[in-house]
Amino acid sequence: MGALVGLGVGVGLMLIWSAFFLPRRSPAERRTAGRATRLLARAGLGQVSVTGFVILCVVCGLVAGLALQVVSGTPPVAIAFGLMGAWLPVAVVSGRARRRQRELAEVWPEAVDNLTSAVRAGMSLPDALSALGTRGPEPLRDAFDRFALDYQVTGRFGESLDRLKDRLADPVGDRVIEGLRIAREVGGGELGRLLRNLSAYLRDDARTRSELEARQAWTVNGARLAVASPWLVLLFMSFQSDVIQRYASGAGVVVLTVGAVACVAAYRLMMRIGRLPTERRILS
């Protein structure tokens, strides 16, 4: 209990100190913050601040490191698991971003079909987009609800589309929105045909990618299992004080460092070999 109280006091003092004495961010730090912002947006967590996310990573790292220090009494092992704990929120948010992107890719064809039906029924394009907030696919309703409010308040279709793109942070959504923007600017005569062709293309693309991801899953799961196994063994060894104390020596630190570098390099290599081409956002 005393350790937890000390941890809480330490985190509070660190936050107070950082508010007054941390220097302004360098360009490299701003790029890192930009990557964090994009990651949170892709995960549907755009309302979460980068500062709050970084604090969460730091707190998770401190808790994991302190817990392993109490269990094992070996600082090198505690530091290693502290770094893993600090990376855990990033891994969780990255996984959420990938799942959200797959989910949106599956529902975009249905959304485009709804747009096609609305335009064919005589609705204007802004009204058809606003209607997706009530009768569109569930994962997209909130974003289109806010689009409808933006357009109702400002009356500026282009700016409302830009904010919709920022909220969705989705490559498929970028293509759909830019296609709609161009169709509106050059005239709506071909809008129905454009939407039908777009819906067919999105369905074919989603079907192909789903098949490839299903075949790729064993590679990804195998890479994750191979990386996690030695660290799980080390975690169980932490409960045996006479064994884990050997990692407190210089040779133990070298073994941990080499093992961590080898695991990270092997995991990155395996993921790079087995990964599918990722879609990039356009005009964002």
What's the angle, vertex CA 105, arms to CA 103 and CA 106, rounded to 5? 65
136 vs 131: CA distance, rounded Å? 7
Question: What pLDDT shows up at residue 283?
Answer: 61
What's the angle, vertex CA 22, arms to CA 21 and CA 26, rounded to 5? 145
Question: What pLDDT shows up at residue 30?
Answer: 43
- Give me Rg for the CA atoms of the chain: 24
Question: What pLDDT shows up at residue 93?
Answer: 93
Helix, strand or coil, per DSSP, at residue 49: coil
Question: What pLDDT shows up at residue 187?
Answer: 62
216 vs 98: CA distance, rounded Å? 14
175 vs 152: CA distance, rounded Å? 24
Counting as low any pLDDT under 50, the low residues of the chain are 1, 4-5, 22-32
Question: What pLDDT shows up at residue 277?
Answer: 64
Question: What pLDDT shows up at residue 120?
Answer: 82
* Residues 121-134 pLDDT 10s: 888 888 888 888 88
Question: What pLDDT shows up at residue 188?
Answer: 55
Eight-state DSSP code of residue 188: S
Q: Where are the beta strands (DSSP E) in 85-209?
A: none
Predicted TM-score (pTM) of this structure: 0.75
Question: What pLDDT shows up at residue 29?
Answer: 42
Question: What pLDDT shows up at residue 88?
Answer: 92
- Domain range annotation of the chain: 33-215
